[in-house]
Amino acid sequence: MIRLQQRPLLGLLVNPFGKTAKALELNGDLLQITKGRHTRSLLLETVTAAPVVRKGTFGAMLTIAYDSGGDVVLKGAAKADAAAFSETFRNAWICFNRTAFDKDASRFDRIHAGVRALAHPARYPAACQIAPLLNDARALDASLLSKLQPEAIGADAPRRIAIVQQFASDAQTERSKSIAAFVDAELDRWRDFFDTVESQPLTPEQRLSVVVDEDATLVLAGAGSGKTSVITAKAAYLLKAGIREPEEILLLAFAKNAAEEMSERVEARSGVPIVARTFHALAYDIIGIVEGSKPALADHATDDMAFSNLIKQILKDLVHRLSDVSQAIIQFFAHFLVEPKTEWDFKTKHDFYTHMESQDLRTLQGEKVKSYEELQIANWLYENGVEYEYEPIYEHKIPETGRRDYQPDFHLTESGIYIEHFGVRRQKVADGSERLVTAPFVEREPYLAGMEWKRQVHADHETILIETYSYERQEGRLLTGLAEKLAPHVTLKPRPADTIYDQIVELNQVDDFSKLLGTFLRKYKSGGYSLDDCEAKSDRMKLGKRAKAFLDVFAPVFEEYEKRLEGRIDFEDMILRAAHYAETGRYVSPFRHILIDEFQDISQSRARLVKALKAQQPDARIFAVGDDWQSIFRFAGSDIHLMRQFGAEFGGTFDNASGVHRTVDLGRTFRSVDQIAFAARTFVLRNPAQIEKQVIPAGTATEPAINIVAVPRAEDERKLSDVLAALSTGSNTDAKPASVLLLGRYRFNEPRMHELRRRFPQLQISFKTIHASKGLQADHVILLNADSGRIGFPSGIVDDPLLSLVSPEEEAFENAEERRVMYVAMTRAKYTLTLLASHSRPSSFVTELRKDPAYDIAAAPDAEPDVHVCGECGGRLLGVTGKDGRIWYRCEHVQHCGNLLLACPSCGTALPRKAEGMTEVRCGCGASYPSCPDCTDGWLVERKGRYGGFLGCVRYPTCVGKAKIATSKRPTTAKPRRRKRP
Residue 202, domain member (yes or no): no
**What 3-state class would DSSP assign to 446?**
helix
Report the range of poorest mean pLDDT among 254-268, 304-318, 574-588, 807-821: 807-821
By CB atoms closer than 10 A (0-12, 13-18, 19+), residue 429 is exposed
278, 347: one domain: no
pLDDT at 516 over 80: yes
Contacts of 761 (CB under 8 A, 6+ apart): none
> Phi and psi at residue 620, in whole multiples of 5°?
-70, 145
C-alpha angle 85-87-88 in degrees, rounded to nearest 5: 65
**Nearest CA-CA partner of 693 in 597, 629, 601:** 629
Establish whether 228 is an annotated binding residue.
yes
DSSP symbol at 737? P
pLDDT at 981 over 50: no
pLDDT at 579 over 90: yes
CA distance 60 to 451: 114
Q: What is the mean pLDDT of residues 490-517?
A: 90
Residue 8, domain extent: 2-102
CA distance 160 to 141: 12
Residue 980, domain member (yes or no): no
Q: What is the mean pLDDT of residues 111-138?
A: 95
In what helix (H) or strand (E) does residue 35 lie, and over which residues does it extend? strand 30-35
Question: What average pLDDT does the chain have?
Answer: 89
**641, amino acid identity:** H
Model confidence over 215-238: pLDDT tens digits?
999 999 888 888 889 999 999 999
Residue 478 is predicted with a pLDDT of 95
Q: What is the mean pLDDT of residues 340-363?
A: 87
543, 655: one domain: no
Q: What is the mean pLDDT of residues 257-284?
A: 89
Report the range of poorest mean pLDDT among 192-196, 470-474, 522-526, 648-652: 522-526
pLDDT at 388 over 60: yes
**Nearest CA-CA partner of 913 in 897, 935, 894, 896:** 935
Residue 654, domain member (yes or no): yes
pLDDT at 393 over 90: yes
Q: At what angle do helices 604-615 and 510-526 cross, to 10 degrees?
A: 20
Residue 631, domain member (yes or no): yes
458, 366: one domain: yes
**Nearest CA-CA partner of 959 in 945, 938, 979:** 938
421, 491: one domain: yes
Q: At what angle do helices 279-291 and 571-583 cross, to 10 degrees?
A: 60
46, 116: one domain: no
Residue 200, domain member (yes or no): no
Residue 725 is predicted with a pLDDT of 94
Contacts of 329 (CB under 8 A, 6+ apart): 315, 318, 319, 497, 501, 553
Establish whether 416 is an annotated binding residue.
no
Residue 336 is predicted with a pLDDT of 87
Q: Express as a percent the part of the chain with pLDDT over 70.
A: 96
916, 948: one domain: yes
Establish whether 226 is an annotated binding residue.
yes
Cβ proximity of 849 and 835 under 8 Å: yes
3-state SS string for 328-342: HHHHHHHHCCCCCCC
Cβ proximity of 33 and 41 under 8 Å: yes
Residue 810 is predicted with a pLDDT of 64
Residue 977 is predicted with a pLDDT of 39
Residue 798 is predicted with a pLDDT of 66
CA 621 vs. chain centroid, Å, equals: 26
Residue 501, domain member (yes or no): no
Give the dihedral sign, CA 962/968/970/971. Answer: negative
Distances (CA, A) of 172 to 166, 167, 177, 843, 922: 11, 8, 9, 50, 72
- Among 71, 102, 133, residue at a domain's last position: 102
pLDDT at 142 over 90: no
- If one counts every other C-beta atom within 10 angstroms of the C-beta of residue 474, the result is 14
The domain that contains 277 carries what CATH number? 3.40.50.300
- If one counts every other C-beta atom within 10 angstroms of the C-beta of residue 584, the result is 10
CA 293 vs. chain centroid, Å, equals: 39
Strands in 294-433 per DSSP E: 388-390, 410-412, 418-422, 424-428
Reported as a pLDDT band with limits 50, 70 and 90, residue 492 is: very high
How, if at all, do strands 876-881 and 867-869 pair? Answer: antiparallel
Give the dihedral sign, CA 460/461/464/467. Answer: negative
By CB atoms closer than 10 A (0-12, 13-18, 19+), residue 241 is middle
- Among 102, 137, 167, residue at a domain's last position: 102
Adjacent-strand bridge partners of 468: 421
CA distance 198 to 52: 72
- Which of the two residues, 831 and 863, has the higher pLDDT score? 831
Cβ proximity of 889 and 879 under 8 Å: yes
pLDDT at 176 over 80: yes
742, 847: one domain: yes
The domain that contains 19 carries what CATH number? 2.30.29.30
pLDDT at 471 over 70: yes
Model confidence over 590-647: pLDDT tens digits?
999 999 999 999 988 999 999 999 999 999 999 999 999 998 887 777 888 899 999 9
pLDDT at 143 over 50: yes
927, 875: one domain: yes
In what helix (H) or strand (E) does residue 546 lie, and over which residues does it extend? helix 544-565
pLDDT at 519 over 60: yes
Residue 980 is predicted with a pLDDT of 38
CA distance 577 to 609: 9
Could you give the number of structural domains in the chain? 7
544: left (phi over 0), alpha (psi -120 to 50) or beta: left
Torsion of CA 588, 590, 594, 596, to 10 degrees: -70
Establish whether 227 is an annotated binding residue.
yes
Residue 864 is predicted with a pLDDT of 57
**What 3-state class would DSSP assign to 706?**
strand
CA distance 663 to 622: 12
CA distance 572 to 577: 9
pLDDT at 99 over 70: yes
CA distance 474 to 478: 8
Report the range of poorest mean pLDDT among 331-335, 721-725, 915-919, 969-973: 969-973
pLDDT at 149 over 90: no
CB-side exposure of 805: number of CA atoms within 13 Å? Answer: 32
CA distance 748 to 694: 35
Q: Express as a percent the part of the chain with pLDDT over 90.
A: 59
Residue 400 is predicted with a pLDDT of 65
pLDDT at 10 over 80: no
**Nearest CA-CA partner of 409 in 441, 377, 386, 382:** 377
CA distance 108 to 113: 8
Cβ proximity of 905 and 941 under 8 Å: yes
Establish whether 844 is an annotated binding residue.
no
CA distance 882 to 885: 5
In the chain, the N- to C-terminal Cα span, in Å, equals: 118
Cβ proximity of 961 and 940 under 8 Å: yes
CA distance 578 to 285: 9
pLDDT at 788 over 80: yes
661, 709: one domain: no
Establish whether 491 is an annotated binding residue.
no
Residue 982, domain member (yes or no): no
3-state SS string for 347-368: CCHHHHHHHHHHCCCECCCCCE
Cβ proximity of 569 and 298 under 8 Å: yes
Residue 261, domain member (yes or no): yes
828, 912: one domain: no
pLDDT at 914 over 90: no
831, 715: one domain: yes
Q: What is the mean pLDDT of residues 314-328?
A: 89
Cβ proximity of 524 and 637 under 8 Å: no
CA distance 259 to 866: 51
pLDDT at 865 over 70: no
Reported as a pLDDT band with limits 50, 70 and 90, residue 982 is: very low
pLDDT at 5 over 70: yes
Residue 67 is predicted with a pLDDT of 82
Distances (CA, A) of 130 to 123, 135, 218, 435: 11, 9, 20, 73
CB-side exposure of 289: number of CA atoms within 13 Å? Answer: 15
Contacts of 870 (CB under 8 A, 6+ apart): 350, 876, 877, 891, 892, 893, 897, 899, 937
Residue 569 is predicted with a pLDDT of 92
Report the range of poorest mean pLDDT among 444-453, 459-468, 724-733, 882-891: 724-733
**What 3-state class would DSSP assign to 741?**
strand
38, 119: one domain: no
- Among 821, 855, 889, residue at a domain's last position: 855
Cβ proximity of 47 and 64 under 8 Å: yes
